[in-house]
Amino acid sequence: MEKAGNLAAVNGVKVSGPFAVNTPVLRERGTTLTVNEVFQHVMNYTHWEPNSALIRNYLEHSSEAVENLLEIGYQFKEANFRFKTPFVDEKGGFHLILTDVDKRVRLWTEAYEKYGCSLIRQPKKF
C-alpha cells in the first residue's frame, strides 16, 4: 500500500546507493572490509547508544539487500562515498547504483509482476 500510488515516487528507488558488507560486488573488487570493523566503528562513533544487536544483525544481513537488487537487474560499483568515512578504497563498502532511475522503476515493476505483488494506492482519507 503506497500513498504516492506508483513506484517512481518511492524515495528508496532514487538513492545513490546502499552501504553493505561482504557482497558479491565487494568480493569482485577485492575489498577487505569486515562486519566487525564496521560494527566497531559505528558503535564507537555513536558512543554505543544504538541497539548493538540490531546494528550487528543489519550488517550481517546487509549483503542480502544488494544480492536481491542484483537479482532483479541492478548494477553497482564500489565507490568512495561523498561523505567523509573510513570506508574507502580497500575498506570500501558503498555501492553506487549504476542503473538509471527510469530503468530502476522498470526493474521494480517487472519484479512486482514476477513475484505476484501489486501496488495499491492508499486512499486519501488515511
Ligand X SMILES: Cc1cc2nc3c(=O)[nH]c(=O)nc-3n(C[C@H](O)[C@H](O)[C@H](O)COP(=O)(O)OP(=O)(O)OC[C@H]3O[C@@H](n4cnc5c(N)ncnc54)[C@H](O)[C@@H]3O)c2cc1C
The label of the residue with cell 482519507 reads 125
Rounded CA separation 109/123 (Å): 21
Q: Does 11 bind ligand X (CB under 6 A)?
A: yes
Q: Does 46 bind ligand X (CB under 6 A)?
A: no
Q: Does 9 bind ligand X (CB under 6 A)?
A: yes
User: Is the CB of 10 or the CB of 42 nearer to ligand X?
Assistant: 10
Q: Does 2 bind ligand X (CB under 6 A)?
A: yes
Under rule CB under 6 A, which residues in 12-31 are in contact with ligand X? 12, 15-18
Among 56, 122, 124, 125, binds ligand X (CB under 6 A): 122
Q: Could you tell me if 30 and 97 are in contact, meaning their C-beta atoms sit under 8 angstroms apart? A: no
Query: Hey, which residues does 94 pair with through a beta bridge?
Result: 19
Q: Does 10 bind ligand X (CB under 6 A)?
A: yes
Rounded CA separation 35/47 (Å): 18
